[in-house]
Chain A
Amino acid sequence: IQLTQSPSLLSASVGDRVTLSCKGSQNINNYLAWYQQKLGEAPKLLIYNTNSLQTGIPSRFSGSGSGTDYTLTISSLQPEDVATYFCYQYNNGWTFGGGTKLELK
């Protein structure tokens, strides 16, 4: 299964509601996770099984979707959210999306 993330680069302001998209080439059956990776760091799990928030992750992060289309939403962007975000499917094999780089406007 191939994952396509859009946009590849997103500029937003502090306080904005931000939506990142991840589209699969086949049905993912909700077996989708989201990771945040800051420069020079290992990826950090944010969301698993489409909409389950990992322990310790702020509630401004949420996930949704079904079938082939999934979304990560940040309800109110904070400066510390500047990072690259990757989606990841584990329904059929294991693949990552190409990433969305989120920067401050």
Chain B
Amino acid sequence: VQLVESGGDLVQPGRSLKLSCAASGFTFSDYNMAWVRQAPTKGLEWVASISYGGSTTHYGDSVKGRFTISRDNAKSTLYLQMDSLRSEDTATYYCARPGATYYYGWFAYWGQGTLVTVSS
């Protein structure tokens, strides 16, 4: 199992950014997926989850209405579109896969993370 995030960058407040997570080593379309973030020197925060087929999404209160999680099962890739970015969105963003198919539960696999810095 391999999860490789990309797209992190320095961006100004109010701007947008799109993260990607390329998955390999498993049948991507069998798994719900999620994004989890970690602000510098802080704890972990669940950001969003998406069902295996992409039809159902869930968001944390801090990003609801600003972030959009999506997936392309043909490309085995997970995305996070981040709009109206704020300084408090500065964090390392991890792509995470649950431990069982068709299940949201615990995250068994994590990517290495991609850093998003929101600053003017």
Contacts and interface: CB of A to CB of B under 8 A. Distances in A.
Q: For this complex, into which size category does the number of interface residues on chain A fall? A: 20 to 34
A89 B108 CA distance: 14
Contacts of A99: 43-44
Interface residues of B, number: 19
A97 B99 CA distance: 19
B44 A86 contact: yes
Contacts of A6: none
A54 interface: yes
A96 B94 CA distance: 14
A3 B104 CA distance: 18
A2 to B, nearest CB: 12
Interface string A44-72: 11001100001000000000000000000
A45 B46 contact: no
Contact of A42 (B43, B104, B106, B111): B111
A96 B105 contact: no
21 contacts: A33-B106, A33-B107, A35-B44, A37-B44, A43-B44, A45-B99, A48-B99, A48-B105, A54-B108, A86-B43, A86-B44, A88-B44, A88-B106, A88-B107, A90-B105, A90-B106, A93-B46, A93-B58, A94-B49, A96-B43, A96-B46
Interface of A: 31, 33, 35, 37, 42-45, 48-49, 54, 86, 88, 90, 93-99
Given A33-B106, A96-B46, 16 more contacts: A35-B44, A43-B44, A43-B94, A43-B107, A44-B110, A45-B99, A48-B106, A48-B108, A88-B44, A94-B46, A94-B49, A94-B104, A96-B43, A98-B43, A99-B43, A99-B44
